[in-house]
Each structure stands twice: as C-alpha cells, then as structure tokens.
Amino acid sequence: MNLLENLGIKVSDQSKTRVILKMEIAAKHMQPYKLMHGGISAVLAETAASIGANLNIEDDEHVAVGVDITTHHLNPVKDGVLVTEATPVKVGNVIQTWTITTHLEGHAINTSLSTVTLKKVALKTV
C-alpha cells in the first residue's frame, strides 16, 4: 500500500497547470488533541505539487522530487472532506515551484509553497 492509498488521498483532476486532490478526514489523520495533524497538509501539498511537476517532464529519465516546502496552517480541522489545489508558479528545466491551497467547505485551512527538482533516475530492465 502506498502513502496515497494509506491516507485515503484521491486524485480528482490533474494536468500540467492544475492538480486537485481530495481526502476525507479520518481518525488516522488526527493528533492526540482531536485535530488533524499538520503534517497531513504538508503531505497533500507536496503530493499535489509532485504530481503536477511530473506531468510537466518531457522525458522518461527524470522524476520530480521535493526539495523545499513551506506550509502555513490557517485554521484547525476536525472533520470533513479536504480539497487541495496546486498550480505552478514557475516550471523550469530543473526546478519547479508550485503554490498549493487546501480548503474545507470553501474556506482555506492551509497554504503552501513547494519547490521540486528534476532527478535523473536509473531505469531498471527486467
């Protein structure tokens, strides 16, 4: 099981210019104080940015990997369905920067800025 499956994150829409994720808040997302753990917002942000960044890569030799993320928690969350939207600020040949906002019922609960770099990967043959 991968991280998205484990946390219940669903890709609602994806393109080179916008990625939308949805996740219903569950007990596994909570901190001991019955509020959603802030790390969940960071996971949603970096996941959305990485999906979008990978869609902008024109070859099969590179993948986008996160190098920096800044996350601002605006409001606490207890339950509901989160909607995360990522859009590119800059799509370069080596570095991409994405801005991400997570909403709950139309209200922003988190904003993030994620920077990814393109990493060359060794392709395995079977």
Q: Out of 46, 58, 61, 105, pick the active-site residue.
A: 46
Cα(83)–Cα(119) distance, integer angstroms: 28
Radius of gyration, alpha carbons of the chain: 15
Distance of CA 66 to the CA centre of its chain: 10
Rounded to whole angstroms, what are the CA distances from 113 to 15, 43, 65, 103, 123? 18, 12, 14, 15, 30
The phi, psi pair for 10, rounded to 5°, reads -115, 135
The phi, psi pair for 75, rounded to 5°, reads -145, 145
Active site residue 5: no
Catalytic residue annotation: 46
